[in-house]
Structure 1
């Protein structure tokens, strides 16, 4: 089992791993409170470098990352963020829109969303390793994002990721402060089955 000594205090209080896994996976969670500290270009590119090495069917690499770092670009991205997410995401120093190529040369890429999800996973773990936090949002107006950012029709918007350094909980609106803690997960045996759906693996 992952030793509790390898876990951050806030994680220790909310998560209890069942089996051995690197603490990096358990420690990563999705805070909403961002500090004012800027993310250097070298750090950002290192995070995107990790995402670059995600696996994909036939090595098609259908993911693209549209990055907003300047105040002007971040404000433009906020135009397609739903109101509930605007309250905290405005403070994130970096916003990254994940889009996936769903068709190439007239052929459908059936795994475009799956593969782009793998890239997001790599990105989030590399960010955590570098001391950053990430929070992925589905609460965006995808059609508006395509319009505002001139995204071609053969690409599909997947999610918007806020990236930066963690701030203090008190910076959040009161209703979000209660939620600013690592969430737990269901047990392995509730997700993994043996041979047929629903038959316990362990």
Structure 2
């Protein structure tokens, strides 16, 4: 954890039910929408997140993940916020920072780069888990206008914006819009392992 970051937030009350005990970085990760609009972050506080993303595995060490990052109050932040869908615009501007994850889809010779979206996903999961370690929340969003981002930031044809990420802190209890608090309070659920992992044949649970 960087010296400038705050201790990890306590998310034990938001942990979903699991069949075994998980590492706190995984168990404490969740995606609230009720973020604290008064919480600020310095750009340097985000360095560990992107350093974690940099060290993610990728096909042939191709490292296809790229990012745009803007701190609240900056022009970059505003341009990213403008690209968000209407639903996300209702809460994401309270984030301390907004990020766009971008996949390099063509190599230097203009050929398709294999598994680039998978590589961006691996790098972004590293970023998200490092955010948990730094006491932050990272909420990933599909709802944004990729074409608007490409135009606003002059992206080349060799890259494609794939995900928007809101970074910040959870709002204090009993503060923020009631609809966001109610959504954040809903139980967290996942499919059980017997649905997800097969053994001897497809649909035959391994666990």
TM exceeding 0.5: yes
**Structure-2-length-normalised TM-score:** 0.87
1:81 partnered with 2:74: no
Aligned partner of 1:94 in structure 2 is 97
Match of 1:156 among 133, 157, 160: 160
1:189 partnered with 2:191: no
Gaps of 5+ in 2: 1-9
Distance 1:166 1:54, change over 3 A: same
Q: Hey, what's the Cα distance between the residues in 1 that align with 2:166 and 2:193?
A: 28
Q: Hey, what's the Cα distance between the residues in 1 that align with 2:22 and 2:52?
A: 20
Distance 1:20 1:170, change over 3 A: closer
Q: Hey, what's the Cα distance between the residues in 2 that align with 1:80 and 1:107?
A: 29
Q: Hey, what's the Cα distance between the residues in 1 that align with 2:104 and 2:30?
A: 27
Q: Hey, what's the Cα distance between the residues in 1 that align with 2:22 and 2:192?
A: 14
Question: 1:79 is paired with a residue of what secondary structure?
Answer: helix
Distance 1:195 1:143, change over 3 A: farther
Q: CA deviation at 1:140?
A: 0.6
Aligned partner of 1:8 in structure 2 is 11
The more displaced of 172-181 and 47-56 is 172-181
CA RMSD, 1 decimal: 1.7
Question: 2:202 is paired with a residue of what secondary structure?
Answer: coil
Aligned partner of 2:205 in structure 1 is 200
Q: CA deviation at 1:148?
A: 1.2
Gaps of 5+ in 1: 1-6
